[in-house]
Amino acid sequence: MNRMQIAHISDIDVKGSRTFTLGETEVALFRLSDGSIHAVENRCPHKGGKLSEGMVCGTTVHCPLHDWKIELRSGRVQEPDEGCVNTFATEIDEHSGSIYITLPSLAAR
Amino acid sequence: MRENNQPIKKLVLAGNGMAGVRMLEHLLKLAPQAYEITIFGAEPHPNYNRILLSSVLAGGADMNDIIINQLDWYTDNAITLHTGDPVVQIDPTARRVISSKGITAEYDELILATGSSAFIPPLPGSDKDGVIGFRDIRDCETMMETARTHQKAAVIGGGLLGLEAARGLLNLGMDVTVIHINEHLMDRQLDRPAGLMLQQELEAQGMKFLLSKRTVELTGKRRVQGLRFTDGTSLEADLVVMAVGIRPNIQLAQSAGLKIGRGILVDDYMRTNVPGISAVGECAEHRGIGYGLVAPLYEQGTVLAKRLAGVETLPYEGSVTSTKLKVSGVDVFSAGEFQDTPDTRSLRIQDDIDGIYKKLVMRDGRLIGAVLFGDTSDGASLFSLIKSGESVKGREKELLTGQPAVGAAAVSPLQRLESMPDDEIVCGCNGVSKAAIGDAVQNKDCNTMKSLKACTKASASCGGCAPLVEGLLQLYAGDNAGAAVKEGICGCTSLDRDEVVSEIQRMGLKTVREVMHVLDWAEPEGCSKCRPALNYYLGMLWPGEYEDEKESRFTNERYHANIQKDGTYSVVPRIYGGVTSPADLMKIAAVAEKYNVPLVKFTGGQRLDLLGIQKEDLPKIWEELDMPSGHAYGKTLRTVKTCVGDTFCRFGTKDAMGMGIRLEKAFERMDTPAKVKLAVSGCPRNCAESGIKDVGIVALDGAWELYVGGNGGVKIRAGELLCTVKTEDEVMEWTSAFLQYYRESARWNERTAAWIERVGLDSIKEKLADTDTRQALVSRIEETLSYTTDPWKKIIEDDSLRKNFEDLSGAAALSGSSPARH
């Protein structure tokens, strides 16, 4: 299990998103109103829109290009559309406010 | 308590009922900060609609439905409310009241609105259990409880109140007999034929009557068991409801030494004889009359509220009243003097087949009274004729039949509504005129009964005028009335735009979250349709106060640039009126070169677009350009297209560029329901394409023409002429007023073209024709504009905003190299 520090909680606005790249993959990190942090691949399965630029409503984000709606915890595209995006596990250190991303095996990537 | 050295005066309201609280609502509108308010009420409830108690009994409404002012209303208005705790003592010298629980409150103004109680005649046995009045929620509860365990009910009094109580008891499954002292029912409101028709109808519903009967005694032990009458007959009853009249609650006033008649004596400004003490409502007696219907009480309240607010007011000179019976499913209307006397002449129609009766009473060519049974649709118009006292000579028969004299065509209900004079009162309870309803529908975006009710209070009290109000809604709103009801603004709510906006206004909601919470949104954080819409409505309604939520805006408006299909952005700096300079062009060229901008293009709006820019470069480019944002990305003013006008053109009649630049500088950055494009052409050849702009201005020799609602997009639409004015200042004034009216009444994401198609140009012209209205619109848009700032500059200067344009720090180090491990 690999864990690496990505950001501080104050880097991301509530209902906002920031991005970082992991190898070839751009990842969008979202901060929801309930304080939780979710990381998904920053690419809508429809036409590749940047989800980080979308509007966050509850636990979903609306893609800015064609309004596809993606559930951020599961990565599932919501009806009536279909599909899913890769998700990444995150952790927040309550004391320091640091955000970590955990990957099964970074080396494997 | 002091604020600005101005002592806030203390106002105490004794009585938490309809008359007093309605007066306060009015006062709070006129002078929101003038008083520190305390209310004492005997009942353990917030203010409720006493008129609808019969609906509670009838089962059509529950307690919550009839509450007018929820507890929140008191909190929101900083009113201290003591329920279940009436004022029991007044010290007029010290200006202090004491409540039953011993609370002391000082006052500068004391308002007595203690209402009335059921008059319980002093009959032997009237103190037994099971003998009640019909005045408050407790009485209703007693009736409902009794109905569960007992069978027989008697109602003493065949007037309005008694019949409503009887109908309620019938609904509760009781066997009901109404005892009335006179020969026919509702003799205070109806003549004999109408009274008899009413009796027949109610008998058919299962109500029993004992007329011309006088009760002498209520029999039974602890609980009532029956009634005995003067003629020796008797009746069994487990419940006796006394509905023979009301008695003003005057004990408190009396003990404080106020002058009392039947009620507390007041002058034409609702003042009692003691300084600092006023009275309003059923407890008051004005020029010898104590009123028990809601409309006069509200009229008194209006006068009192104005006086307390220090606003000029006409004196209260008494009310002509009208009555409607609602709950029994029988339509009865009565107003004015309805009995024949030697100096009156009357006209009647009686139709026993359809159960319709109509009587008009005339004196000296004027209508002085009317009784309607079965069909009361003319009630409001007859009532307004009675009140106006105008001559109806020659029209008497037309009034009776509802048909114009021989030869003319029959009148449809719609035509009748159309021909109704503007000042005619439609809702008698709340004094709402036809004009006020028209105004609410046309200018305040009310296109449902709900929003109309919230806005004007029409049909919000007894509900008797609801069909009329609905008719007027159809008349004014046309097709928009029905359609808007079914469709919410998005899947998260069933409320439409107008309902949402009026609720925000009515309840003073100030954040998106609050709106969704209070209005029961299905999704707690809404969706991509409602969030930006609410963000717009809130900003429009509360300029200066509302803090814009960038999270509720689309990508383009959040990053102040247009997102392109590949995730890059475009930058369009402001070029006022399409007039640029070598210096600006050189800045743009330098930036384009430095950042390798892939495409530089002229837009259709006479400016330059830099396309293909990476997000993280945006703030840097803005900084280096040092030009204002062109807002090419938002629901706001885009461009003002101009021709060269008389500056160079041989056909030009006026300075089109100057006018365009002035407009663009005035309205840039303004949030609008959808994007807005303007143009100014220097002559009718219209090189700036003024005919297809939201506001297109065409200069003529000696005048400016303003065309509105044009669109050159998806659906091409030619602008329509709004007005022709003489000066540049007038162009500014009319454009401001038009844009603000659009801002206030269009749906979010509705272009002016669609909006005008929906509401009609005439309604806009009519609205803007009035100078005061126009000025008010202008000052509202000016206020809104005064709060705007350049978004690019704001982002450049604020790191917390700027960070969102950058990849997370350290991310560059992570990519491709081995990340730090923990």
* A4/B821 CB distance under 8 A: yes
Judged against a pLDDT cut of 80, whether residue B402 lies above it is answered with no
* B807/A65 CB distance under 8 A: no
Q: What value does the mean pLDDT take over residues B788-812?
A: 85
**C-alpha span between B646 and B27 (Å, rounded):** 55
Q: Is residue B817 domain-resident?
A: no
Q: Is residue B681 domain-resident?
A: yes
- Alpha carbon B450 to its chain's center: 9
Which segment of B342-351, B603-612, B734-743 scores lowest on mean pLDDT?
B342-351
Identify whether residues B83 and B226 lie together within a single domain: no
Torsion angle (degrees, nearest 10) of CA B616, B618, B623, B625:
140
Q: Quick one: angle between helices B160-171 and B192-204, nearest 10?
A: 10
Identify whether residues B645 and B766 lie together within a single domain: yes
Token pair of B630, please?
Answer: 């062109």
B815: nearest CB among A18, A23, A33: A23
Q: Is residue B445 domain-resident?
A: yes
Question: Which residues of B fall within a CB distance of 8 Å from A2?
Answer: 819, 821
DSSP B604: T
Q: Residue type at B648? A: F
- pLDDT classification of B812: cutoffs 50, 70, 90: very low
- pTM of the shown model: 0.51
Count the Cβ atoms, other than its own, within 10 Å of residue B623: 14
Q: Is B95 left (phi over 0), alpha (psi -120 to 50) or beta?
A: left
Q: What value does the mean pLDDT take over residues B587-607?
A: 95
> Strand B239-242 to strand B152-156: parallel, antiparallel, or no bridges (unpaired)?
parallel
How much is the pLDDT for B489? 85
Residue A69 in contact with residue A77, Cβ under 8 Å?
Answer: yes
Judged against a pLDDT cut of 60, whether residue B697 lies above it is answered with yes
Tokens 């029959």 found at: B410
Count the Cβ atoms, other than its own, within 10 Å of residue B450: 16
B559 at A interface, C-beta within 8 A: yes
Strand ranges inside B448-598, DSSP E: 562-563, 569-571
* A4/B814 CB distance under 8 A: yes
Identify whether residues B471 and B590 lie together within a single domain: no
**C-alpha span between A39 and A28 (Å, rounded):** 6
Q: Is residue B350 domain-resident?
A: no
Residue B692 in contact with residue B678, Cβ under 8 Å?
Answer: no
B340 at A interface, C-beta within 8 A: no
Q: What are the C-alpha distances in Å from B173 to residues A22, B59, B169?
A: 75, 12, 7
Q: What is the CATH number of the domain that holds B223?
A: 3.50.50.60
Identify whether residues B109 and B258 lie together within a single domain: yes
Residues in CB range of A36: below 8 A, 6 or more apart: none
How much is the pLDDT for B461? 67
At B244 the three-state DSSP class reads coil
A57: nearest CB among B527, B553, B567: B527
Identify whether residues B647 and B744 lie together within a single domain: yes
At B97 the three-state DSSP class reads strand
Q: What value does the mean pLDDT take over residues B767-781?
A: 94
Identify whether residues B260 and B240 lie together within a single domain: no
Count the Cβ atoms, other than its own, within 10 Å of residue B280: 30
Q: Is residue A26 domain-resident?
A: yes
Token pair of B472, please?
Answer: 């007027």
Q: How close does chain A come to B744, measured CA to CA in Å?
A: 25
Interface of A with B (CB under 8 A): 2-7, 11, 13-16, 18-23, 29, 33, 47-50, 53-58, 62, 64-65, 67, 69, 100, 106
How many domains does chain A fold into? 1
Q: How close does chain B come to A8, measured CA to CA in Å?
A: 9
B525: nearest CB among A22, A58, A69: A58
Which segment of A24-38, A46-60, B135-149, B424-438 scores lowest on mean pLDDT?
B424-438
> Strand B35-40 to strand B9-14: parallel, antiparallel, or no bridges (unpaired)?
parallel
> What is the domain extent for residue B138?
131-244
Q: What is the CATH number of the domain that holds B690?
A: 3.30.413.10
DSSP collapsed to 3 states, B250-293: CHHHHHCCCCECCCEEECCCCECCCCCEEECCCCEEECCECCCC
B551: nearest CB among A18, A21, A56: A56
Residue B332 in contact with residue B338, Cβ under 8 Å?
Answer: no
Identify whether residues B497 and B561 lie together within a single domain: no
Q: What value does the mean pLDDT take over residues A72-85?
A: 87
Question: Which residues of B fall within a CB distance of 8 Å from A99?
Answer: none
Q: Residue type at B759? A: V
Q: Residue type at B576? A: Y
How many domains does chain B fold into? 5
**C-alpha span between B64 and B200 (Å, rounded):** 34
**C-alpha span between A58 and A38 (Å, rounded):** 12
Q: Is residue A109 domain-resident?
A: no
How much is the pLDDT for B355? 84
| pLDDT per position as a tens digit, B734-770 | 999 999 999 999 999 999 999 999 999 999 999 999 9
How much is the pLDDT for B230? 92
Which segment of A27-41, B273-287, B624-638, B803-817 scores lowest on mean pLDDT?
B803-817
How much is the pLDDT for B409? 44
Chain A interface, mutation test: which of B516, B517, B525, most A Cβ atoms within 10 Å? B525
Q: How many residues does chain B have?
A: 822
DSSP letter string, B425-492: EEETTTTEEHHHHHHHHHHS---SHHHHHHHH-TTSSS-TTHHHHHHHHHHHHTHHHHHHHH--SBTT
Please name which of B380, B385, B387, B335 lies closest in space to residue B472, comparing C-alpha atoms: B380
Number of H helices, E strands in chain A: 0, 9
Q: Is residue B434 domain-resident?
A: no
Average pLDDT, chain B: 88
| pLDDT per position as a tens digit, B162-197 | 998 998 898 888 999 999 999 999 988 889 999 999
**C-alpha span between B280 and B305 (Å, rounded):** 10
Q: Is residue A108 domain-resident?
A: no
Q: Is residue B755 domain-resident?
A: yes
Q: Which residue of A has its CA nearest to B522?
A: A58
Residue B633 in contact with residue B556, Cβ under 8 Å?
Answer: yes
**C-alpha span between B332 and B464 (Å, rounded):** 10
What residue spans of B36-114 are helical by DSSP H? 53-58, 71-76
Residue B484 in contact with residue B494, Cβ under 8 Å?
Answer: no
Q: How many CB pairs under 8 A join A and B?
A: 97
| pLDDT per position as a tens digit, A94-107 | 888 899 988 765 44
Q: Residue type at B326? A: K
From B491, B517, B542, the end of a domain falls on B542
Q: Residue type at B413? A: P
- Alpha carbon B36 to its chain's center: 25
> What is the domain extent for residue A41?
2-103
**C-alpha span between B423 and B419 (Å, rounded):** 12
ipTM of the complex: 0.90
Highest mean pLDDT among B123-132, B311-320, B437-446, B575-584: B575-584
Is B666 buried (19+), middle (13-18) or exposed (0-12) by CB count in 10 A? middle
Identify whether residues B600 and B695 lie together within a single domain: no
Judged against a pLDDT cut of 60, whether residue B82 lies above it is answered with yes
Percent of chain B with pLDDT over 70: 93
Identify whether residues B87 and B197 lie together within a single domain: no
| pLDDT per position as a tens digit, B610-621 | 999 999 999 999
Identify whether residues B595 and B607 lie together within a single domain: yes
Judged against a pLDDT cut of 70, whether residue A108 lies above it is answered with no
Token pair of B194, please?
Answer: 């109408």
**C-alpha span between B305 and B313 (Å, rounded):** 9
Q: What share of chain B is helix, strand, coil (3-state, %, to 5)?
A: 35, 20, 40
Q: Is residue B348 domain-resident?
A: no
Q: Is residue B427 domain-resident?
A: no
Q: What value does the mean pLDDT take over residues B329-348?
A: 86
Identify whether residues B453 and B594 lie together within a single domain: no
Identify whether residues B507 and B598 lie together within a single domain: no
Residue B156 in contact with residue B139, Cβ under 8 Å?
Answer: no
Q: What is the CATH number of the domain that holds A90?
A: 2.102.10.10
Rg (CA), chain B: 34
